[in-house]
A and B are shown apart, each in its own frame.
Chain A
Amino acid sequence: MDRRQFLKATSLTVAVSAAGTLATPRIVRAADPIRIGLMAPLSGVVAAGGREIVEGFNMYWEEHGKQSGGRAVEVIIEDDAGNPDTALQKARRLVEQAKVDFLFGNLLANTGLAVASYVKGNGVPYFIPVIAADDLTQRNRIRNVIRVAGYTASQMPRPLADWALKQGHKRIATISQDYTFGHEQCGGFAQVFTEGGGQIVSQLWNPLNTADFSPYIGQLGNLKVDAIFAMELGADASRFMKQYSDFGLKGQIPLLGAQNFTDQSVIRTLGEECDGIISSAHFAEGSDNPVTQKFVKAYSAKYNKMPSLYGFSHYSGAMWVDQVINQLKGDISNRDVFIDAVLKSQLTNSPLGRPVRFDDYGNPVYDVYIRKVVKNKDGKYWNVPIQTYPAVSQFWTYKPEEYLKNPPFSRDYQGIKK
């Protein structure tokens, strides 16, 4: 590839310039910077989370002198607008025009899947701390798509379902955004809940960016349930919580949330409508683990707000990749070697306060907290752990080979035990 470009450049006298194209040959020297293409939704329903992806990522590199393995690190940021077509277009631009060494980021599952199918074709490493589509590390595993500091959608709600059963909840309804991430989170929850003898009374699905939840809340209010499991993210989560409270359901029916539901990016602009909601995640900004608190304080000092899942994940993701690049002494020219090194590595010193490693399918294993939203001493809301489920993998207690025989979660298949 390099040689052909070199020949073209020297044999042709016509130089056509277009913005940002490198027509000069690229011979990788140790002094060349490492170029990272970071994609995030900077507009749209999850713009707040998207911004924090950029903030968390940049914070890590700034703390570490913007270098890795002896080479400078250049981060090129593109807005995917929360839209798979745009994400695909930006990924192409980053890889083919800006010639980045690897891709990072994206937030919404549909954008991540679009980019993943693109990198499947060209082998560019794509690191996804937040894209949680199950099958990327299960049935449709793509070798160069790697979940550094990431998780699968169905991984986190399962402990919550177990916890709900132990609280004595028997009848639950779910409301979720109608796309893969929602289907999988609800599926993980429904699967464990029904296997433990619970009943999923009804499942509501709303489109992304629903402004008016009143029709759904009207329905939920009519059901006789012990609790409601809500999977909403970004603006939908804040609107749902507000409207749930406006309609008086907050005091009546307990609300259980997926991890993004009570994420800092949502609750920091809310009031008592988020108080007391239970969720489950590997990260809790209110955890008293000293390493976590150090990270939370540093983040708050830099950005004037507590870190969300998005900021934390990309900080940790950058950390993980940095550790591997340092191991390789900056030489990531051989993609296979690079990817292998990542999959075998272990993340140490992360803000979680404990090391993290991948399972055999390329997905990290975490201790998952059951968290509750409470006010901290400064009067702001945050998630505090009330119980811990150790070593939760993407397969819960199932054997991987058995589990993978089941179909992937979708609207129609929610893992509900008949």
Chain B
Amino acid sequence: MTSAISAIQRSALGFVLVLVLFGALPLVISSYQMSIANEILIFALLAMSIDVLAGYAGRTSLGHGALFGASTYVVIYWTSVYGGSAWVGCLLGVIAATLIATVFAAFAVRVSGVYFLLLTLALGMIVWGVCLRWTSVTGGENGIRGVGRPDLIANPTVFYYATLAVVLLMTFLMWRFVRSPFGLTLRGIRDSESRMRSLGYGTSVHMFVAFIVTGFFAGVAGALYALFNNFVSPSTVQLSQSVEGLLMAIIGGVGTLFGSFIGAAAIILLENVVSAYTARWQMVLGFTFIGTMIFAPEGILGALRWLISRKRWRRSSNIVTNDSNTKGGTKWIADNF
């Protein structure tokens, strides 16, 4: 199965690239730039959680930003207001995000397409509304200030590598998840739900679990963000968080997993560069959205993959390649997304 081996090889290459590139960065860049790279890693994880649901399960969500931010709130609240340990706080944050994802999933399991998008948007807004108005707990407009990281990871460089390690671990777990039998079933559902149902697969259960799993990963990203930013406010859970996360996933390439790193880097670097010269970042972001949708909805990595698989298809014209991770996958993206 040459195509299967090369898929694993490609993923291994992705891991190594991320490890080497991000791992070597602190040696050559300033501490401020390292904090930017740190931010990129955290948001890549958020984008990945959205990507798994959108690219492999076929459901585009605008609620994962709220899950991300909810985790941040719990971590900061636990360490700052309650005075607990940061490690326990992170655990609680991830649990909270997963629990809220369970509630979201219960609502969203039978819905797809645009309705799914709007439903997750509405649920995300409820979370935002709670964070904004439940002033006694969340501090309302003021937000909550953190108390700094525990000594072990207080140093920015140490924390950077810790983030890298956690993000790579989560990426690996997600990779295993999408390549597992469960993940393959998900892709089958994505490609044709009716067929899978007639084959006897519980499509709703699969969607339910998939949502919760991606919620877990968004929660991990949120916990990292709490340690990174040392501050949380209603902006952390607001709709724009979900929108930017989705855009990062799209620009990198929906359904490519590693594309999220590219997407997160592209958006965050673009914002830093653009903001240094002009205040018109919102317009640039808008045009990026428009341009991506018209010219490159498969994203950077998606377009690359499609080009490569097309070349291979032409070269071996007698063999039908049906690896749904490449041609089939990008075809689904191209047709449906």
* A interface residue numbers (CB < 8 A to B): 5, 12, 14, 16, 18-21, 23, 42, 79, 83-86, 88, 92-93, 96-97, 109-110, 113-114, 117-118, 121, 178-180, 207-208, 411-412
B33 touches A18 (CB 8 A): yes
Q: Which residues of A contact B33 (CB under 8 A)?
A: 16, 18, 21
Given contacts A84-B143, A118-B230, 6 further A-B contacts (CB under 8 A): A14-B28, A19-B273, A21-B32, A85-B231, A86-B235, A412-B136
* B interface residue numbers (CB < 8 A to A): 27-33, 35-36, 132-133, 135-136, 140-143, 145-146, 148, 229-231, 233, 235-236, 272-273, 275-277, 279
Contact among B31, B36, B233, B276 with A114 in the assembled complex (CB-CB below 8 Å): B233
A19 touches B272 (CB 8 A): yes
B276 touches A20 (CB 8 A): yes
- Distance between B226 CB and nearest chain A CB, rounded to angstroms: 13
Expressed in whole angstroms, the Cα–Cα distance for A96 and B36 within the complex equals 11
Residue of B nearest to A15 (CB): B28
Expressed in whole angstroms, the Cα–Cα distance for A21 and B31 within the complex equals 10
B279 touches A42 (CB 8 A): yes
Expressed in whole angstroms, the Cα–Cα distance for A86 and B273 within the complex equals 16
A110 touches B143 (CB 8 A): yes
Task: Known A18-B33, A88-B229; judge A179-B142 contact (CB<8 A).
Answer: yes
Task: Known A88-B229, A88-B231; judge A110-B31 contact (CB<8 A).
Answer: no
Expressed in whole angstroms, the Cα–Cα distance for A5 and B276 within the complex equals 22
Contact among A83, A84, A92, A179 with B35 in the assembled complex (CB-CB below 8 Å): A92
B145 touches A96 (CB 8 A): no
A97 touches B133 (CB 8 A): no
Task: Known A84-B143, A114-B231; judge A96-B31 contact (CB<8 A).
Answer: yes
B231 touches A110 (CB 8 A): no
B140 touches A179 (CB 8 A): yes
- Distance between A90 CB and nearest chain B CB, rounded to angstroms: 9
B236 touches A110 (CB 8 A): no
- Distance between B73 CB and nearest chain A CB, rounded to angstroms: 13
Closest 6 CB pairs of A and B: A96-B32, A179-B141, A117-B145, A85-B235, A19-B276, A110-B142
- Distance between B268 CB and nearest chain A CB, rounded to angstroms: 11
Q: Which residues of B contact A178 (CB under 8 A)?
A: 135, 140-141
B142 touches A84 (CB 8 A): yes
Expressed in whole angstroms, the Cα–Cα distance for A359 and B235 within the complex equals 36
